[in-house]
Structure 1
Amino acid sequence: MHHQSARNISAAALALALGAALTVAAAPVAAADGAKEKCYGVALKGKNDCKAGAGTSCAGTSARDHQGNAWTYVPAGTCVKTASPSSPTGFGQLKEFAEKKA
């Protein structure tokens, strides 16, 4: 009886460890370490890490430089200090924004 309990505990521990490993594997590496943040409006054409608006698939799909709905990872704390000529403030934004008119 004791042997069966130990086997059940081992199986449960294995399942828990596997689930944790899969969760970590699914998280973007750059975001997982906490040293990076998403910054909108600073990526150059085709150089975004993700989100580039309707009709695009993700990374590398921004249609123009400094697109307001395309982000890239930057070192944490630097986004709002990074130049973005399309941003209303002239700097990168932590959230998607409507680009100012030229």
Structure 2
Amino acid sequence: MSTNHNLINKENDKVTNKLLTSAICAVLATAGFTHAMAETQATENKQITDQNMMKSLKGMERCYGIAKVGQNDCGTASHMCAGESTIDNDKEAWISVPNGLCNRIVGGTTKPPVSKS
């Protein structure tokens, strides 16, 4: 009888382990999906904010590569807000300048940097 009891306990342990493994996998998958969705939403919100900002600045253009530390006008791939650039002349950081002025500034370009991904 003891042998049968041990076999039943082992089977119960296997079932319990499978259930726990499945539950953990489900939690991890949900967390990963939630993170991906939040990241996607943040990117979309940033793009909308950037577009709205440029619409409100008629006669202005983005000039990349000339902002001093902490003087950028909006977020980049490495940060989400204005004033958060950490190096001078960061190729991703930009400031708004009057149309036509950017290409007259050394290091300035109206073309965003090519994504590294």
Normalized against structure 2, the TM-score is what? 0.48
Q: Extract unaligned runs of 5+ from structure 1.
A: 1-25, 85-91
Structure 1 residue 33: Cα displacement: 4.4
Distance 1:58 1:48, change over 3 A: same
Going by fraction, where is helix more abundant, 1 or 2?
2
User: Percent same amino acid at aligned positions?
Assistant: 34
Q: Extract unaligned runs of 5+ from structure 2.
A: 1-50
Structure 1 residue 36: Cα displacement: 0.7
- In structure 2, the partner of 1:27 is 52
- In structure 1, the partner of 2:73 is 49
Q: How many residues align?
A: 64
Distance 1:59 1:82, change over 3 A: same
How far apart in 1 are the matches of 2:96 and 2:57?
12
2:84 aligned with 1:61: yes
Larger radius of gyration: 2
Deviations 1:42-101 (A, max 9, x none): 1100000013332x12200111111000111001111111122xxxxxxx1112237xxx
Alignment RMSD, CA only?
2.1
Runs of 4+ in 1 over 3 A off after TM superposition: none
Going by fraction, where is strand more abundant, 1 or 2?
1
Normalized against structure 1, the TM-score is what? 0.54
